[in-house]
Amino acid sequence: MPTRRYPRPMQRNRSIPASTVVPVLTYPDVRAAVAFLETAFGFTESVRIGEDHRAHLAVGDGAVMVRDVRHDARPPHPGDHSHEVLVRVEDARAHCERARAAGVEILTEPTDYPYGERQYHARDPFGHRWVFSETLADTRPEDWGGTTVG
């Protein structure tokens, strides 16, 4: 049976973010993480579950969830690099300066790439890695060495 490339719209549920893919990141202190993500990256808390169990944060037309340390869920250890969350932004340079002012560790400064994006990489104080990406041009993957599949 062939896989559908574009699924039908999902049923709405105000208790979960509407995005198709939602990263769920573990933080040692959910309230501190929410405050930090709002200040540093401009996210907006949309749902709180318990005082410090989980929170949903909106960012553009996407979302991220933060959760507490519980059962086998743990934040990254110092030096771990198991994941990155890519977030599209309007102005990577201004976003980077906002994050820097909030104490975010900037791993790479905003850089223009041949695939049409300006990106910077950051690590928040809890160890999670983020990539913030501003689209500069609609670039065909074949123009920079990629391959369009399908």
What confidence score (pLDDT) does residue 24 get? 95
The two tokens of residue 119 are 């990106």
Q: Which whole number is the average pLDDT over 75-93?
A: 92
d(CA 19, CA 87) in angstroms, rounded, equals 13
d(CA 13, CA 62) in angstroms, rounded, equals 15
Give yes or no for a contact between 104 and 122, defined as CB atoms under 8 angstroms apart: yes
Please report whether residue 14 resides in a domain. Answer: no
Question: Containing H/E element for 51?
Answer: none
pLDDT greater than 60 at residue 1: no
46-53: long-range contacts (C-beta < 8 A, 24 or more apart)? 46/17, 47/14, 47/15
pLDDT band at 29 (very low <50, low <70, confident <90, very high): very high
What confidence score (pLDDT) does residue 7 get? 60
Please report whether residue 3 resides in a domain. Answer: no
Q: Which residue has the tokens 């990406």?
A: 133
Please report whether residue 57 resides in a domain. Answer: yes
Length reported for the chain: 150
State which residues form the domain around 81: 24-143
Please report whether residue 9 resides in a domain. Answer: no
Reference 33, options 125, 132, 129; nearest CA is 125
Which tens digit of pLDDT belongs to each residue from 36-69? 999 999 999 999 999 899 999 999 999 999 999 9
Give yes or no for a contact between 122 and 99, defined as CB atoms under 8 angstroms apart: yes
Please report whether residue 109 resides in a domain. Answer: yes
Q: Which whole number is the average pLDDT over 124-148?
A: 94
pLDDT band at 2 (very low <50, low <70, confident <90, very high): low
What confidence score (pLDDT) does residue 113 get? 95
Average pLDDT in the chain: 92
Q: Which whole number is the average pLDDT over 117-138?
A: 96
Please report whether residue 137 resides in a domain. Answer: yes
Strand partners, 123: 105, 129
The number of distinct structural domains making up the chain is: 1
Q: Residue 75's domain is classified under what CATH number?
A: 3.10.180.10
Q: Which position has the higher pLDDT, 33 or 19? A: 33
Please report whether residue 148 resides in a domain. Answer: no
Please report whether residue 10 resides in a domain. Answer: no
